[in-house]
Amino acid sequence: MIDAFLDFLQHEKRSSVHTVTSYKTDLDQFCKYLLFQYDCVPEKATSVMLRSWVVSLMEEGLNPVSINRKIASLRSFYGFLRRKKQIPSDPTKILSALKMRKKLPAFVEEKAMDMLFDHTGFPDDPNGIRDRCVLELLYGTGIRLSELIGLEIQDLDLAGRTIRVYGKRAKERLVPISSSLAQLLMKYLAVRLPEEDTKVLILTDAGKAAYPVFVQRTVKKYLSGVTTLSQKSPHVLRHTYATHLLNRGADLNAIKELLGHANLAATQIYTHNSIEKLKKTHEQAHPKA
C-alpha cells in the first residue's frame, strides 16, 4: 500500500517531488525496521511497534526535527490506510511529537540589506543584472526558492507592479512589487540571453532555466559581503522580508497572504523576532530594566 499512498500524494494531493521522496524514505526505513525486529508488514503493525521504532530513532541520536517528520509520515500513511479501510484502527494515535526548543528564524538586518543594494557592485552586464533581480525578488517579495525558479515571463505584470506566484500545491497568489523592482525586471528582460524555453524568467549564465543550487550559490555569494550569519540562503531572505515588514508595522494577516502561508500559525513565528527587539529596546532605554 505504500506505492498507492505515494501515488495519492503525488496525483491527488499534488505534493511536491521533495515531499513525496521524504515520505518514501521514512516509510522504507520503517518497513525495514518492522521486518527486522518483528517480521511484520505495516498493515499489521501495532502501536507498540510504532513506539518502539520512535524510541530506536531517539537512541540512535536522531534530532527531534527529523523524528517528528517521520512521525508525521506515519500519521499520514496510516490515515490513508484507515480511509481505504485497510486497517481497523489507527496505531499512530498514541504517538506524540517530541518537544523541541523553538528556533527563531534567522534574518539579515536592514542596514545590511541597504548595504547590499546600495553599495554592492553588481556587474553591469546581463548576469549581473540577473543576480540583482534574484536578490531583489527574494527580498522584495518573500517568495520561496521553488517559486522563484518557477516564475515565467507571463507571470509578470510590470505595469500593474505585481507578479503571479504558484506556491505549495500549486496555490496561486499575486504579490506586489516596488516600482524600482519593476524597472529592474524590465531592464533584465531587455538584456537576458535567449534560450530554448523562453518562458522561464531566471536563466543561468548559459541561458538555461535556473536551478536550486545555482540560486543558492548566487545568494550566498552576495550575502557573504554584508552579513556574518552562518545561514546565507534564499529562505533567510524570505525570513528577512517578513521580519522587516512586521518591524515596520505591517499587519500579520497581510504578511500571511504575501508569504502564501496556509494559516496564521506559520506566520506568527516572526512575531518572536519583533518581541526580542522590543525587549532589547526596553533593556537599553528603561531606567528600571
The catalytic site residues sit at 144, 168, 235, 238, 261, 270
What digits encode the pLDDT tens for the residues 246-264?
888 888 899 999 999 988 8
State the greatest distance between any 2 C-alpha atoms of the chain, in Å, as a whole number: 67
Name the pTM for this structure.
Answer: 0.65
| Stretch 43-68: mean pLDDT | 93
Q: Which residues lie below 8 Å from residue 129, measured CB to CB, with a gap of 6+?
A: 122, 184, 187, 188, 191
Residue 277 banded pLDDT, cuts 50, 70, 90: low
**Which cell is 285 given?**
532605554
Fold designation for 2-94: DNA polymerase; domain 1 (1.10.150)
Residue 137 banded pLDDT, cuts 50, 70, 90: very high
Residue type, 288: K
**Which cell is 172 given?**
496561486
**Which cell is 159 given?**
505595469
Residue 13 banded pLDDT, cuts 50, 70, 90: confident
Query: Does 51 or 16 have the greater pLDDT score?
Result: 51
pLDDT beyond 70 at 159:
yes
Nearest CA-CA partner of 200 in 265, 138, 153: 153
* CATH number at 110-283: 1.10.443.10
What digits encode the pLDDT tens for the residues 191-231?
987 665 578 999 999 888 999 999 999 999 999 999 999 99
Q: 273 φ, ψ to 5°?
A: -65, -40
Domain ranges of the chain: 2-94, 110-283
Torsion of CA 164, 151, 262, 239, to 10 degrees: -110
